[in-house]
Every structure is written in C-alpha cells, then in structure tokens.
Amino acid sequence: MQARISRSAALATLLALMAPAMVQAHDEAPGLPASSMPLSALPKSPALDVSSLKINKPAKAVDEDAFREKDVWGRIRSGYAIPDINNELVAKHVNWYATRPDYISRTTARASRYLFHVVTELEKRGMPTELALLPFIESAFNPQALSSANAAGMWQFVPGTGRDFNLKQDAFKDERRGILASTDAALTYLQRLYDMFGDWQLALAAYNWGEGSVQKAIKRNQAAGKPTDFESLAELMPAETRNYVPKLQAVKNIIANPAQYGLNLPAIDNTPYFTAVDKTSDIDLTIAAHLAELSVDEFKALNPQFKRPVITGDEQTKILLPKENADKFHLNLAQWGKELSTWTTHKITTARESIGVLASRFHTTPEVIRQANNIPQKSLLKAGSTILVPKISTSASVDISPEVERNATVAFEAERERTTGKSGYKLAKGGKTAKSGPVALVKARVPRDAHKPRHRGN
C-alpha cells in the first residue's frame, strides 16, 4: 500500500514539473492556433494545480497582457514567432535601413496610425505579430501606394486578387486602399498561404510571388532530392522574392533593438488610434474633414479608399476618425444646417456633350469636372459615361443610389484636332482611346505572366 502511494506521489510530482514545459512549448510554437491545447488535454493529477498554469486564450480573444505593454512596438516584439534567418541578404538590408534614418522616421510616422489595429487583428487570429511589419516592405505604410502592375494600398493587392478577397473596386471607392478591409483581406490571405505550406517563410514568398510559383519550386526541389525550405528554394525565385523575407527579417531586427543600429522609433501608444463612424448619407469629403476638425490630408490618410470628392452613403459605409475627432464630428454634425453633399451624378447620352458645355450647364468650370472625375486634359467623354457634377437645385439633393455607384463608368477618348490633311481630323498625341469600365480600371491592364506575383507587381 505504501509503495503504491509513493509511486502515485512520484508520478504526480513528475507531471507537475513537466506541465510548465509543455505549456511553454505550446506558447512558442510558431503559427500554432492559441486554442489548440484545451484544459481538458492537460494531465489530471491531485498534485497538478491547473489554475496556476498559463494557458493560451482562444485566438478570437486578445490577450489582456498585450495591453500592459507601454507601446505597440513592445506588443510586436513579444509576439515574434517566425523563425529567424541570418545571411548576407539580411545584413545588406539591415545596413540599408540603418543608414537611412529619415526613411525609417517617415515610414514609422505613417505606421503609427495603423499599427495598433493591425497588431490587434493579428493577435485575434493567433498569427505572428511581425507580420504587422510587412507593409514596411510592401508600401512603406502608404495606403496610396500604386505599383507598376496596378497593385494598390498598404498591402499591395492587384485588382483581380482584391476581388478574390471581396475588396470592392468601383468608380467611388477602392477598398484595396481601405485600412480595415485591406488588412482583413491581407491577413486572411496570409493565413490561407500558411495553411497551404505549413511554413511562414514560404507563405510570405507566396504572398509576393504567387502560391503556384512556390508550389512549382517545391516540386522541382523535391524531384531533385533537395530541401524545400525558403533558403533552399531562394535560388529558384526572382530577385524580388529572394529578397522579400530577408527584408522583413531586417526590419524585425531593427524593431527588436533600434538602439543597436543608432535609430529611434517614435512612441506609439498602446491604444486605438482611430474609431469607426457609421455614415448613411452622402457627404463631401471636405465637409467630413471639416466636421471632424481634421485637415483633408489627415482625413484621407485614414480613409484612402474614397476616390471622389463625395463619399456615397449606405449602411455598410464607415469613416475612420481619431476618437477625439469622432466626438467633434458628431457634435458638429448635429449643428450643421447645410447640405452635406454638393455633388450628384450625370449620365452622358451623346458625344456632343462636351466638358465645356457641361461646365456651363452645371455652373462650374471644365477643370472642376475634370478633377472630380479624373478626366485627362485633351480628352472627350464617351456616351454612356456617368460623371460627378455639382448640384444646381434642391431637386438634386437625393443621394447617389447604390446601383449608380456599382455600375458607374467613365470612358473617354483623345480629343480630335482639326488639320489640313485629307482626312480632315487626326487623333491628338498618341491617338489612344481609353478602355471603358470603372474609373479605377481605365488604365490598360498589365499582363500577368508566370513570374509576376499574384497579388502585387514588381
């Protein structure tokens, strides 16, 4: 009987000693969902006090410990979970960033608006927090960034992949630039890639190069009996992708210890920078900024998805404002006794409706119409185009309908100039006609080849 009691006590002691190590291993496993080790999976023993152990919370609940950090940089550092790499490319990029303090200062100043939100979303999903630094590489945290392959926004989505992740792109907005929508889409895409490859470095390579390209590279190395980790596949990658993960590693190193590289990071309070305000009626962008007591540039920095001088209203439309400015917005809105929107739409029914004639009809100037609709100089609107024009009567005070918003297109062609040639007319310089379609897609499409990233361009 005594022997059985001794063996039981010894087993209980052993389990009690092992439990913290088991939990620590779970905490440190990169990419492992926080909810994958329920309490019921822990060994049961009279000597094991489960309540004293640190157990990860479900991924949907942000750990309260995150809010004990003094700033957002601390939260990012504490959540690093992607294995480090250390090679010549990393050293090269660390040196590049470290010798450009002005660039780091500008980029981190822009990042200060968005990082709290991005880190919070990563923690909710149980994803590595260094992914919050990826916009350093993609766009330098500029939501207005546009690549040569028409990849747009902080996370750099091309139009097709943006639509794959439900990022709306129409004549009035481009959610590839929207802070909330594009961050949600980017993290969803990154998690999908991690689930596909089981490796964050390969997931990042696929985010840049395309999952099909990474899969082909893996199969090629497998056929040759070679390893399939990122560094082993790097020689098969284009230069941009080969440098992509080392660039992120370089930024990780600098954020981990900026003083080591002679750099200072701006303090970013560990509190939300902005809050979302519902908006259900049309409002001019300049009026919204005025009511919030923000400059137009600051308003656009938080709401870069809106492409026109009027923000169309529906139950899903939100604008982002710093919290104190949101309070001012509501107060000023309640006292605003004027029209919130000074714009409406007009459909071009005939090519004879020149911009000059339209300007006269709507009591404005040709330049105002061109700027509001992104119409180049020396170009004519095609029949069927829907453009913004100033409201000229109270009968035009009805909001722009969702149907018009979804289907509005602007198409134009080069202005014809009279000549003395036999034809009598010639096309203006270039002689090109813009493709019809949503304003955001007026530019000719950039062909996608097998070496172009699926979601962004070089």
Whether 275-335 and 64-261 are alike in CATH topology: the answer is no
Amino acid in position 450: A
Tally of CA atoms within 13 A in the half-sphere of 74 that contains its CB: 12
Q: For residue 371, which of 383, 385, 355, 360 has the smallest C-alpha distance? A: 355
Helix axes 239-256, 200-209, angle to 10 degrees: 130
* DSSP tally for the chain: helices H, then strands E: 18, 10
Q: Return d(Cα 4, Cα 10) in angstroms, integer.
A: 10
Bridge partner list, 146: 152
Q: Domain 275-335 carries which CATH code?
A: 3.10.350
Q: Among 1.10.3720.10, 1.10.287.610, 1.10.530.10, 1.10.1240.10, name the CATH number for the domain at 64-261.
A: 1.10.530.10
pLDDT reported for residue 190: 98
Q: Return d(Cα 325, Cα 329) in angstroms, integer.
A: 6
Total-model pTM: 0.77
SS3 of 260-302: HHCCCCCCCECCCCCEEEECCCCEEHHHHHHHCCCCHHHHHHH
Q: What is the CA radius of gyration of the chain?
A: 28
Token duo for residue 332 = 């000023």
Which of the following is catalytic: 121, 138, 175, 353? 138
Long-range (24+ apart) CB contacts under 8 A made by 134-137 are 134/186, 134/204, 134/207, 134/248, 135/111, 136/107, 136/111, 136/247, 136/248, 136/251, 137/244, 137/247, 137/248, 137/251
Helix axes 179-197, 115-125, angle to 10 degrees: 40
Residue 116 burial (10 A CB sphere; 0-12, 13-18, 19+): buried
158: left (phi over 0), alpha (psi -120 to 50) or beta: beta
Q: Return d(Cα 134, Cα 136) in angstroms, integer.
A: 5
Report DSSP letters for 331-359, one per residue.
Answer: HHHHH--S-S--EEEEE--STT--HHHHH
pLDDT reported for residue 226: 98
Per-residue pLDDT of the chain (458 residues; tens, 9 = 90+): 444 444 444 444 443 444 433 333 333 333 333 333 333 333 333 333 323 333 333 444 455 555 556 899 999 999 999 999 999 999 999 999 999 999 999 999 999 999 999 999 999 999 999 999 999 999 999 999 999 999 999 999 999 999 999 999 999 999 999 999 999 999 999 999 999 999 999 999 999 999 999 999 999 999 999 999 999 999 999 999 999 999 999 999 999 999 999 999 999 999 999 999 998 799 999 999 999 999 999 999 999 999 999 999 776 789 999 999 999 999 999 999 999 999 999 999 887 788 999 999 999 999 999 999 999 988 888 999 999 999 987 555 689 988 898 888 888 888 764 344 443 333 333 333 333 333 333 333 333 333 345 454 33
88 flagged as catalytic: no
pLDDT reported for residue 423: 38
Q: Where are the domains of the chain?
A: 2-52, 64-261, 275-335, 343-441
User: Which residues contact residue 220 at a Cβ distance below 8 angstroms, ignoring those fewer than 6 apart?
Assistant: 236
3-state helix, strand, coil in the chain (%, to 5): 50, 10, 45
pLDDT reported for residue 237: 98
Bridge partner list, 320: 276
User: Which residues contact residue 35 at a Cβ distance below 8 angstroms, ignoring those fewer than 6 apart?
Assistant: 56, 57, 58, 59, 126
Query: 325: which DSSP letter?
Result: H
